[in-house]
Chain A
Amino acid sequence: MNWFQRTKEGVNVDTEKKELPNVWVKCDQCGEIIYKKDLWANFNCCTKCGFHFRIFAKTYIQMILDDKTFITINKNMVSVDPLEFTDTKKYSDRIKTTVSKTGIKDAIHTGYGKLNGRPVVLAVMDFGFIGGSMGSVVGEKISRAADAALAHKLPLIIVSASGGARMMEGALSLMQMAKTSAKLALMHEQGLPYISILTDPTTGGVTASFAMLGDVIIAEPGALIGFAGPRVVKEATGKDLPPGFQRAEFLLEHGFVDLIVPRKDLKDTLDKLLEFFGTKTDPHFDLNQVTES
């Protein structure tokens, strides 16, 4: 016999964990409950511990560029399915579903814009699109962004967020690592600046190509950055990973990033860097003449 017996039938007890109403969000790191508007006002960083929430590519574009100066290029480029790849579902279906779910066409946005009045070429990856993976489209769009920078002698800024090369395009994805690196080599020869910004997470083939090749490499606080993912490293070595392994601070300590910059200071830091690099911009270049493509 139970000590407490329910005498009434049909009483509904709320046993499920209550979802926070839409206006509140919980910090993944410290558990603080933050009012969403406060979070947005704080560059999507926790108001208590400073934890950097993952954000959309579009938010980075707004954060980095002057208001309404972004002119997107190659926006209609989409992945095709060159290998006719099928795992548990067809790659072509996976693309379609992801395009309709995310409203973006692949894992990167590229275009021109102004940063405190200076014209730049900007590329921003979106982790929400098949893990920000790099297939032919991501590689080609970065390659064309570098071409644009080369054509008008502009600085290039790339914000990375990626699990690495896209498996569903096999060796073709791998070749995008070579393609993007080759274009950065051309920029290097022309003395044009390239700033690489690493956000959470940046791993695999993206890290092992353009992400690690910046004249200056900036990381966001706490971002996971590495070649092999932590799970793979743990499995391969059978060792416990040291605390903070593959986090931005770990890379700074080992000499692989130049600086860690909180989001609120990102634009100012970029401005200072661009000022130091100086401008080589083609005097005939006029951002107003550039059309969206």
Chain B
Amino acid sequence: MPVILDFEKPIAELENKIKGMQSVANVDLSNEVSALEQKLEQLREEIYSKLTPWQKVQLARHPERPRSLDYIERFCEGFTELHGDRLFGDDHAIVGGFGKIDGQPFMVIGQQKGKDTKSNLYRNFGMPNPEGYRKAMRLMRMAAKFNRPVLTLIDTPGAFPGIEAEERGQAEAIARNLLEMSRLPIPIICVVIGEGASGGALGIGVGDKLLMMENTWYSVIAPESCSSILWRSWEYKERAASALKLTADDLLKLNVIDRIIKEPMGGANRDYDLAAQFVKTAVIAEFKNLSAKPVSALLDERIDKYSKMGFWGEMNK
């Protein structure tokens, strides 16, 4: 039974109606069915083309949304997962390894959520511990050593706020990645495939190009937490989602991201293969441009890109 979000209910009802009519034997309802199917198409267009920021947050968190490994399985040939940070352990909330995308060897690193309680517990709900960030960095250094590009897939509700995570230096692990990723002498492409929550997302999100899928979010804080801090209540999550300007469209306008990747109608959860195809095409296109540049130009442009981030003014008083 697929999960239906509240705003998708009219679509689901119509879908069920059509299914019901199709299952009726003896009577030919094909005219009625095709009329309803046309209506369904319109309804989908209407609903999915006008999603509010909060609705996009809901889609980004959809329990059936493809995870990093679903994408890797589809567009990365011969993927071999590598484990461990060589310091403490192996974090299951971040996966990493190498494989080929369209014939080009890549180091691919992704935050990995589960799909049910058991796998979510195993993946810590996609919330990495410091060893996850350190594993990611170790694999990226390896990629640089052998001159292979890096692709990161971002999908996290945040870095894990646990006691042990603090003891093992969550902040240091993330900070170190920001510093090193800003100068890694190979192309780095980052794609937000689900949730991009704060420093936990940025910890594998510094690179030459930042791409976002259509129904994802990326911000400094989750809308619920923002609501709880600024409004002192959990009730304002929808307003917080709008205020934070966390959608791909907003962030393209603010020059935070470089490209939006289209999703299948109704979200990536509706068609894994097509979603993976869209991501693959975008990654290949970006890599083509980046690989044509000498390393020095690549690094200068990366520094320049981040130097320009943000908006400020002057007040002469």
- The contact string, 1 if C-beta is below 8 Å from chain B, for chain A 189-205, is 10000000000000011
The interface bits of chain A over 268-288 (1 if a CB of B lies within 8 angstroms of the residue's CB, else 0) are 000000000000000000000
Q: Which of A211, A228, A250 has the most CB of B within 10 A?
A: A228
Give chain A residues whose Cβ lies under 8 Å from the Cβ of B244. Answer: 83, 85, 167, 170-171
Determine the distance from Cα of A14 to Cα of B81 in the docked complex, in whole angstroms: 73
Specify which chain B residues have a CB less than 8 angstroms from the CB of A86 in the assembled complex: 243
| CB under 8 Å from chain A, chain B span 240-284 | 240, 243-246, 251, 254, 256
Tell me, rounded to whole Å, the shortest Cβ–Cβ distance linking B91 to chain A: 15
Task: Report the minimum CB–CB distance from A141 to chain B (whole Å).
Answer: 9
Q: Are B220 and A83 in contact, with the CB atoms below 8 A?
A: no
Q: Which of A58-116 contact B (CB under 8 A)?
A: 76-80, 82-83, 85-88, 99, 105
Which one of B29-37, B97-105, B134-142, B305-313 is at the A interface? B305-313
Q: Which residue of B lies closest to A254 (CB)?
A: B167
Per-residue interface assignment for chain A, residues 152 to 175, with 1 indicating a CB less than 8 Å from any chain B CB and 0 otherwise = 000000000000011101111111
Q: Residue among A82, A166, A178, A226 with the most chain B CB within 10 A?
A: A178
Whether B10 is near chain A, meaning CB under 8 Å from some CB there, is no
Interface residues of B in 202-259 (CB under 8 A from A): 202-203, 205-206, 218-221, 226, 229-231, 236, 239-240, 243-246, 251, 254, 256
B54-62, B108-116, B158-166, B289-297 - the one binding chain A: B158-166
Residue A237 lies at the interface, judged by CB distance under 8 Å to chain B = yes
B314: nearest chain-A partner, CB-CB? A76
A117–B295 alpha-carbon span in the complex (Å): 40
Instruction: From known contacts A86-B243, A227-B159, infer whether A179 and B306 are also in contact, taking CB-CB under 8 Å.
Output: yes
Closest residue of chain A to B201 (Cβ to Cβ) is A174
B210: min CB distance to chain A, Å: 10
Whether A208 pairs with B175 at a CB distance below 8 angstroms is yes
Tell me whether A204 and B199 are in contact (CB under 8 A).
yes
Cβ-defined contact, B220 with A165, below 8 A: yes
Name the one of A76, A105, A179 contacting B309, with C-beta atoms under 8 angstroms. Answer: A179
Smallest CB–CB gap between B184 and chain A, Å? 10
Across-interface contacts of A136 in B (CB, < 8 A): 309-312
A171-B220, A172-B256, A175-B309 known; A181 vs B167 contact (CB < 8 Å): no
Docked-complex contact A207 and B176, CB < 8 angstroms: no
Partner of B163, one of A77, A88, A166, A233: A233
Chain B residues whose C-beta falls within 8 Å of the C-beta of A183 in the assembled complex: 303, 307
Rounded to whole angstroms, the CA-CA distance of A76 and B206 in the bound complex is 30
Interface flag for A182 (CB, 8 Å) = yes
Is A233 a contact of B179 with CB atoms below 8 Å? no
A246 CB–B CB distance under 8 Å: yes
**Complex partner residue of A170 from B170, B220, B317, CB under 8 angstroms:** B220
Q: How far does the Cβ of B134 sit from chain A's closest Cβ, in whole Å?
A: 13
Summarize A's interface: helix, strand, loop or mixed: helix
Residues of A near B251 (CB, < 8 A) are 171
Q: Name the interface residues of B25-81: CB closer than 8 Å to any CB of A.
A: none
A233-B161 Cα distance, complex, nearest whole Å: 5
List residues 229-251 of chain A with CB under 8 A from any CB of chain B.
Answer: 232-233, 236-237, 239, 241-242, 245-246, 250
A177 part of interface (Cβ distance < 8 Å): yes
Docked CA distance A172–B244 (Å): 10
Does chain A have a CB within 8 A of B186?
A: no
Shortest CB–CB separation between residue B311 and chain A, in angstroms? 4
On chain B, the residues within 8 Å of A178 by CB distance are: 178, 182, 202, 205-206, 306, 309
CA distance A156 to B246 in the complex (A): 33
CA distance A212 to B50 in the complex (A): 42
Decide if B171 touches A87 in the complex (CB within 8 Å).
Answer: no
Cross-chain contact B165 with A167 (CB below 8 angstroms): no
Known A-B contacts A87-B243, A189-B183; the reply to A209 vs B175 at CB < 8 A is: yes
- Contact call B179/A208, Cβ cutoff below 8 A: no
B180 at the binding interface (Cβ < 8 Å) = yes
In the bound complex, residues from chain B placing their C-beta under 8 Å from that of A51 are: none
Q: Which of B167, B168, B203, B239 counts the most A-chain CB atoms under 10 A from its CB?
A: B167
A139 at the interface (CB under 8 A from B): yes
Point out the residues of chain A lying under 8 angstroms from B307, CB to CB. Answer: 143, 179, 182-183
Cβ of A32 to closest chain B Cβ, rounded Å: 31
A49 at the interface (CB under 8 A from B): no
23 residue pairs from A and B, CB less than 8 Å apart: A82-B254, A85-B244, A87-B236, A140-B312, A169-B220, A171-B245, A171-B251, A175-B309, A178-B206, A179-B307, A181-B178, A182-B178, A182-B302, A182-B303, A185-B179, A189-B183, A204-B199, A208-B171, A209-B174, A226-B166, A228-B159, A250-B167, A254-B168
- List 20 extra interface pairs beyond A174-B219, A212-B171, A213-B179, CB under 8 A: A80-B313, A136-B309, A137-B310, A137-B312, A165-B220, A165-B221, A169-B220, A170-B244, A170-B245, A171-B254, A171-B256, A178-B182, A179-B306, A182-B206, A182-B302, A183-B303, A188-B179, A236-B162, A242-B163, A245-B163
